[in-house]
């Protein structure tokens, strides 16, 4: 979902919706009237449609402002199909803070929260933004790259659990192979989860297995020698019994996740190449197959989504936050931000050091100034966002030679004049 500025509309009513997994509490106030109506809504497609149609009929199709603590999800997808409902996402932290003003104890319930959200959209609407869907191809790509990250994290979790299990019963595997995520390792552990089972197998069968999985001849011979000299880490029957059950299951899950991630990679690559902004982000140094789709999603398709690069720098969490009270002045990184978005810019900036001369020089300058590696990368990401934003707005590809030429024309040395604005001595690792 992308956001844009609120259209100039006169709303027939304002609604605050406190959503839940089974029921949603709502509070409605018609424009020009003092009475606040409240109620509950069952979370079913039929009930949501009936409620939306009743508002359309009641107010003659005039727009109704609906605020809720979501930017995506089942409720948003269900209500966004109705033209007369204008959706406003409200940050849950803002609702919490506004509620604390009137109830310092923190006591609350769904019906009260719905009224709080109603007050925000009714009285503070100038601080909110209308939620509008991006193009289908961009949203599909967004779902895919985010789901891929979830599956990669799942694979990492299973790999860590498998590694821990192997250290107890079959630690030699960790020395014989580079990673437990390798298809050959998964297949081997599903077939022989313990060293005793593997040693009991005829050597010719093990050799055939290794060769069939593409292991080079010298590595096959080396692994067979290691296998012949290997000794069990334990003879504890309980540990070995559990290993025979647990290790094959973990290996099977990793193998399935490998297949899923490969399928997602192909789908993401195909969709990214067909995206109208692919050429822009494909031209960015360090943005390879994995990061180009994520950058496309980070910016979106709607050029009105961000009115300046500063908005994206702040929203993504790359720009630091300044807190000042009296003589106290603190600069720290932004905690409330989309973590996956921040990670995208951080990873891209880190990769760009290898492919961009000025990025490498700028990173070195930050390190020489005493910044930690993460802080220097964030500073570089801050600069990259400004450059990418300009290319995105103008729909132009990035040209490193042209950029360096412009820097030279302005008499600005690459390694000395790039500074992270408003960051002071910020160097907290991220």
Interval 202-217: pLDDT, tens: 999 999 999 999 999 9
Residue 425: what pLDDT?
Answer: 41
- Find the mean pLDDT for residues 279-285: 96
419 falls in which pLDDT band (50, 70, 90)? very low
% of residues, the chain, pLDDT over 90: 69
Lowest mean pLDDT across 307-311, 407-411, 418-422: 418-422
With a cut of 80, say whether residue 329 has pLDDT above it. Answer: no
Q: Measured between alpha carbons, how far is 212 from 76 in angstroms, rounded to an integer?
A: 50
333 falls in which pLDDT band (50, 70, 90)? low
Q: Measured between alpha carbons, how far is 416 from 37 in angstroms, rounded to an integer?
A: 61
Higher pLDDT, 203 or 5: 203
98 falls in which pLDDT band (50, 70, 90)? confident
At which residue do the structure tokens 């020009």 appear? 32
- 132 burial type by CB count under 10 A (0-12 exposed, 13-18 middle, 19+ buried): middle
- Find the mean pLDDT for residues 182-198: 96
- Find the mean pLDDT for residues 169-196: 96
3-state secondary structure labels for all residues of 229-298: HCCCCCCCHHHHHHHHHHHHHHHHHHHHHHHHHHHHHHHHHHHHHHCCCHHHHHCCCCCCCCHHHHHHHH
Enumerate residues 6+ apart whose C-beta is below 8 A from 340: 146, 149
CA-based nearest residue to 373, from 397, 399, 346: 346
Q: Which residues are registered as beta bridge partners of 4?
A: 130
Q: Measured between alpha carbons, how far is 152 from 257 in angstroms, rounded to an integer?
A: 8
With a cut of 50, say whether residue 422 has pLDDT above it. Answer: no
Residue 104: what pLDDT?
Answer: 77
3-state secondary structure labels for all residues of 196-220: HHHHHCCHHHHHHHHHHCCCCHHHH
- Find the mean pLDDT for residues 333-343: 82
Count the alpha carbons within 13 Å of 128 in the hemisphere toward its beta carbon.
28
**Tokens at 183, concatenated:** 């298809």
CA-based nearest residue to 124, from 148, 147, 144, 95: 95
Residue 128: what pLDDT?
Answer: 86
- Find the mean pLDDT for residues 69-83: 86
- Find the mean pLDDT for residues 171-195: 96
Residue 92: what pLDDT?
Answer: 80
With a cut of 80, say whether residue 428 has pLDDT above it. Answer: no
Q: Using an 8 Å Cβ cutoff, are 353 and 373 in contact? A: no
- Find the mean pLDDT for residues 407-419: 56
| Whole-number CA gyration radius for the chain | 28
With a cut of 90, say whether residue 19 has pLDDT above it. Answer: no
Lowest mean pLDDT across 114-128, 173-187, 259-273, 415-429: 415-429
In the chain, what are the domains?
Answer: 2-133 (3.30.420.10), 139-271 (1.10.287), 281-417 (no CATH)
Residue 427: what pLDDT?
Answer: 43
Phi/psi of residue 100, nearest 5 degrees: -65, -25
Higher pLDDT, 161 or 337: 161
Q: Measured between alpha carbons, how far is 99 from 124 in angstroms, rounded to an integer?
A: 14
- Find the mean pLDDT for residues 321-334: 69
421 falls in which pLDDT band (50, 70, 90)? very low
Q: How many CB atoms lie within 10 A of CB 167?
A: 12
The overall average pLDDT reported for the chain is 88
Residue 100: what pLDDT?
Answer: 77
Q: Which residues are registered as beta bridge partners of 14?
A: 29, 65
Digit-coded pLDDT (tens) for 21-53: 889 999 999 999 999 999 999 999 999 999 999
With a cut of 50, say whether residue 334 has pLDDT above it. Answer: yes
Residue 409: what pLDDT?
Answer: 76
Q: Measured between alpha carbons, how far is 428 from 320 in angstroms, rounded to an integer?
A: 10
Enumerate residues 6+ apart whose C-beta is below 8 A from 88: 6, 65, 66, 67, 68, 121, 125, 128, 129, 130, 131
- 429 burial type by CB count under 10 A (0-12 exposed, 13-18 middle, 19+ buried): exposed
% of residues, the chain, pLDDT over 70: 90
134 falls in which pLDDT band (50, 70, 90)? confident
- Find the mean pLDDT for residues 75-89: 91
- Find the mean pLDDT for residues 108-130: 88
């Amino acid at each position: 979902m992308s956001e844009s500025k609120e259209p100039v509309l006169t709303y027939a009513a304002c609604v605050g919706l406190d959503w839940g997994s089974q029921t949603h509490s709502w509070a409605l106030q018609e424009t020009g009237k003092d009475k606040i109506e409240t109620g509950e809504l069952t979370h079913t497609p039929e009930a949501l449609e009936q409620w939306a149609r009743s508002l359309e009929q009641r107010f003659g199709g005039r727009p109704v402002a609906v605020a809720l603590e979501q930017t995506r999800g089942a409720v948003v997808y269900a209500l966004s199909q109705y033209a007369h409902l204008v959706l406003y996402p409200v940050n849950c932290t803002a609702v919490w803070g506004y509620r604390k003003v009137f109830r310092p104890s923190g006591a609350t319930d769904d019906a009260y929260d719905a009224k709080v959200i109603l007050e925000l959209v009714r009285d503070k609407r100038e601080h909110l933004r209308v939620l509008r869907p991006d193009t289908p191809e961009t949203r599909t790509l967004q779902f895919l790259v985010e789901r891929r990250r979830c599956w990669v994290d799942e694979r990492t979790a299973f790999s860590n659990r498998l590694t821990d299990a192997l250290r107890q019963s079959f630690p030699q595997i960790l020395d014989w192979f580079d990673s437990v995520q390798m298809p050959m390792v998964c297949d081997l552990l599903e077939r022989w989860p313990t060293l005793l089972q593997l040693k009991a197998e005829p050597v010719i069968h093990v050799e055939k297995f290794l060769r069939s999985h593409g292991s080079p001849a010298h590595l096959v011979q080396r692994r067979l020698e290691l296998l012949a000299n290997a000794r069990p880490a334990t003879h504890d029957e309980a540990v070995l019994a559990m290993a025979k059950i647990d290790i094959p299951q973990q290996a099977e899950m990793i193998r399935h996740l490998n297949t899923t991630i490969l399928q997602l990679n192909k789908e993401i690559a195909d969709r990214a190449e067909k995206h109208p902004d692919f050429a822009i982000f494909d031209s960015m140094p360090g943005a390879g197959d994995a990061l180009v789709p994520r950058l496309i999603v980070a910016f979106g398709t709607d050029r009105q989504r961000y009115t300046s690069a500063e908005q994206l720098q702040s929203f993504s969490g790359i720009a630091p936050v300044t807190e000042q009270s009296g003589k106290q002045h603190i600069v720290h990184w932004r905690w409330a931000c989309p973590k996956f978005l921040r990670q995208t810019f951080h990873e891209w900036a880190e990769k760009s050091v290898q492919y961009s001369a000025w990025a490498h020089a700028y990173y070195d300058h930050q390190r020489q100034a005493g910044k930690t590696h993460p802080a220097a990368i964030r500073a570089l990401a801050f600069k990259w966002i400004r450059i990418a934003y300009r290319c995105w707005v103008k729909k132009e590809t990035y040209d490193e030679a042209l950029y360096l030429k412009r820097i030279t024309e302005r008499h600005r040395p690459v390694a000395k004049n790039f500074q992270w604005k408003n960051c002071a001595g910020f160097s907290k690792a991220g």
